[in-house]
Chain A
Amino acid sequence: MTALRALVRKELASLFGAPTAYLALSMVALVTALIFFDHLRLYNQILFVYDSATMGGFASDTVPDYVNLWDSVFFPVMETLGLTLIGVVPLVTMRVFAEERARGTDELLFTTRLTPGQIVLAKFAAAYLFVTLMMAVSFLYPATAIEQGGLGLEHLAAVFLGLTLHGIGLASIGLLCSAFTSSQLVAAVSAWAVAFLLWDLSWASGFVGDRIAALLEALSIQPRYSSFAGGVVSLANVIYFAGIALVSLAAARFSFDLRRVSG
């Protein structure tokens, strides 16, 4: 545990010792704030139009169902953030393993008391902490706005959980790709490719049967992630993202064995 804690601390120190971490945090927080504010302002304008047109829109139930805070603001924000994270997170994770291999410090790390499993676990843990912090910082503004509106934070908590799990899933994919290469560019590009592919597998439903189409839908990230935006926290969806993390961890651990064999 001492060795594991030491590596987690070192990973976090490396992460936050580099200005790129702050750039990533700032960028995601800014994008979140801008699109949230933009959609909120548009939503207010639409409501105002309905209100003045019908003179008492809310009470007389003439505002369309889909013009509401969740569909008009939260869903679009979450969709945009979901894709933004696919772009940003691999840029953060690409160096985690690949840089060590390129520098040769992975060999130094290997000769300590840390087992390959512990090395993988520590690096994944540090990346997950970073992603969670990224989402927490990004949600400061939406949470404050919603709280001020007196609408309760529970639904927003579901959205936050969904985005964080999505970020953790993406970080896992990014780390996995980083573990199999010494080139950060290859790590980032392959992580993007895998993430975009997994984002929505329904494109293949055109030429497979119903059952396989249902399986592909179950494997896709987007429907799982969207249900959190609706305010529903399903255990199956939480486990889906945890499953991505678990499989990525195991495969990253396997990359050490592969390297010991192939050189």
Chain B
Amino acid sequence: MRELALVGVIALAFGLGSYHATRELTAFAVLNLAAGTLAFAAAAGLALRRLRFAAGSHSRRVLLRGLLGVAGALALALALERAAAWSGLRGDLTFERSFELAPATRKALAELPGELTATLYHDRFDPRARNTRLLLASLAEAGRVKVRERQLSDSPEALDRFGIAGSNTVVLELGSRFETVDRPLEATLYEALYRLRSRSNGVIGVLRGEGEGDVSSEAELGFSGLAAALATEGYQVRSLVTASLAEIPADVDAVLLLGPRRALLPESVAMLEGYLERGGRLLALLEPGAQSGIEALLDGWGIQAPDGVIVDPASGASGDGALGIDPIAYNYESHPLSRGLNPDRMTFFAGARPLVLHNAGPADSVRRVVLASPHSWVTQDLSVLSRRRGALMPDGAAQDYHTIAAAGRYPRAAGDARIVVIGDSDFASNRYLRSLYNLDLAMNAVHWVVERESEITLRPKLRTPKQFPLPIQNTLRTFHGVGLLVPELLLLGGGLVWLRRRQA
């Protein structure tokens, strides 16, 4: 019986090993598998025969009870595992909580009009597929998403159809529409979901003509990223050349002013004033040291924007050592626009202009939204920005929560006007839009201004798992002091035990 079992094990091992190595059922593999199975069956038969002879009535009862115990344990294990899988209960212990979906992603999944199919195309041994698999599993648990995997080598038609350029690519299919994501992180999948939803949230008119930020520019200080984010979240972006406009077109849901380098012409300012009086919506990103021409207009609506630079020592030094002139804000007033932002979710501004609020009309509501730290103060010395050097706080300077962003709502006969002013435009440029929670602030400001407050959310981050290196010097010390010392002590311990036993 044992000889047969031994033959069975060896034959099966070689049969399976042969298939595993070549992925083909050769004659060698088939013969070994057949021989191994037969040998095992014969050994099992002999064992049963031996049992039959030996077994009395007690034996049958004992065996049956034992087998039921094993079957019961197996059934219990399977049931518990399936129940746990169905419950989807799990903990994300990653540093960035990479596998906990952002509210925006959950919302996007919930609003899908049908079942989404997410297919991961990858090379067999691509290690990146591991994380992507986990991410897709998170999506599947959160919504009506069917997840599949295909190897690139098995899917030549799909490569052509979806334009797949490399391994670890996810294709999202919704009905006949699809989106190909070649860098599958939650942020990029989220944007693809939004594109698939193809919801239209309105038209944003971006003013041009006075050196404003360029939404078609992909340069570091361009705003193509902002335009793409607007498109993702359902907005059509339209350039409005102020000089050629008599009035803001009626189908524009909000006007975006991106840090003009020159002051708007009085006619343009008047056009804006008229637009706002008719219940218009304005999102103005200003720049310290540049007169936008709408300062007086904004003052009339309760938001003063004196020229100056907020210096916030609590923000620490920027990359070039200039202390506090690029504020990192972590104080937010309670406002729909800042929903979800808290001291752990900071926003970064590359040189910010202060805002001062005052009452406009009796029914008007003008409120601070984003504040610098209480240690911040304002300098009129605009050269700190160009010199990239920190400023000394003059005697008598007021340290306070200086306002970086403000929002106002103004009931008018023709409808509510809404204005959001932010004292920096660079925070939304290509260079900084994806830093910290800048994208969320920018997009939520747009959603609030066009009164689509249900779209205000926190978006998944583009951050990838920790890339900061561990200092190699510390690592060496730890390697010797712990990594090698512990095994050495264990071996010594074992040796001493062995010697003691010989003498005992």
Give me the interface of A with B, judged by CB distance under 8 Å: 16-23, 25-27, 29-30, 33-34, 36-37, 40-41, 43-44, 47-48, 58-59, 61, 63, 65-71, 75, 137, 140-141, 144-146, 148-149, 151-152, 154-155, 157-158, 189-190, 193, 197, 203, 206-207, 226-227, 229-236, 238-240, 242-244, 246-247, 249-251, 253-254, 256-258, 260-263
Contacts and interface: CB of A to CB of B under 8 A. Distances in A.
Contact of A232 (B69, B80, B92, B465): B92
Given A37-B483, A70-B465, A235-B87, A261 B81 contact: no
A179 to B, nearest CB: 12
Given A65-B128, A140-B486, A262-B47, A148 B474 contact: yes
Contacts of B20: 203
A34 B98 CA distance: 28
B91 interface: yes
Contacts of B19: 203
Given A230-B130, A262-B47, A262-B54, A137 B93 contact: no
Taking chain A's interface residues, is the majority helix, strand, or loop, or is none over half, making it mixed?
helix
A229 B98 CA distance: 13
17 contacts: A20-B494, A22-B494, A29-B486, A37-B479, A43-B469, A47-B469, A70-B94, A144-B482, A148-B470, A190-B9, A232-B90, A232-B93, A235-B87, A236-B81, A246-B76, A250-B70, A250-B72
A20 to B, nearest CB: 8
B177 interface: no
A41 B128 contact: no
A258 B471 contact: no
Contacts of A75: 127, 130
Contact of A148 (B77, B478, B498): B478
B498 A19 contact: yes
Contacts of A206: 23
B198 interface: no
Contact of A71 (B127, B185, B494): B127
A249 B73 CA distance: 9
Nearest to B434: A61
Contact of A250 (B69, B84, B464, B484): B69
B73 A247 contact: yes
A100 B76 CA distance: 30
B475 A155 contact: no
Contacts of A70: 94, 131, 465-466
Given A246-B76, A254-B67, A261-B59, A21 B134 contact: no
A262 B94 contact: no
Contacts of A233: 90-91, 93
Interface of B: 9, 13, 16, 19-20, 23, 25, 47, 50-51, 54-55, 59, 62-63, 65-67, 69-70, 72-74, 76-78, 80-81, 84-85, 87, 89-95, 98-99, 127-128, 130-131, 134, 183, 185, 319, 434, 462, 464-472, 474-475, 478-479, 482-484, 486-488, 490-491, 493-495, 497-498, 501
B253 to A, nearest CB: 32
Contacts of B95: 151-152, 154-155, 231
Q: Please give me the 6 A-B residue pairs with the lowest Cβ-Cβ distance, nearest first.
A: A22-B494, A243-B77, A33-B483, A250-B73, A231-B94, A141-B483
A231 B92 contact: yes
A106 B51 CA distance: 21
Given A235-B87, A246-B77, A247-B74, A257 B501 contact: no
Contacts of A157: 93
B90 A230 contact: no
B465 A69 contact: yes
Contacts of B482: 33, 140-141, 144
Nearest to A147: B478
Nearest to B90: A234
Contacts of B488: 26
B77 A253 contact: no
Nearest to B13: A193
Contact of B70 (A197, A231, A247, A260): A247
A226 B483 CA distance: 24
A137 B493 contact: no
A235 B89 contact: yes
Given A230-B130, A254-B66, A26 B77 contact: no
Given A58-B468, A71-B465, A263 B80 contact: no
A251 B70 contact: yes
Nearest to A207: B25
Contacts of B50: 262
Contact of A243 (B47, B78, B462, B467): B78
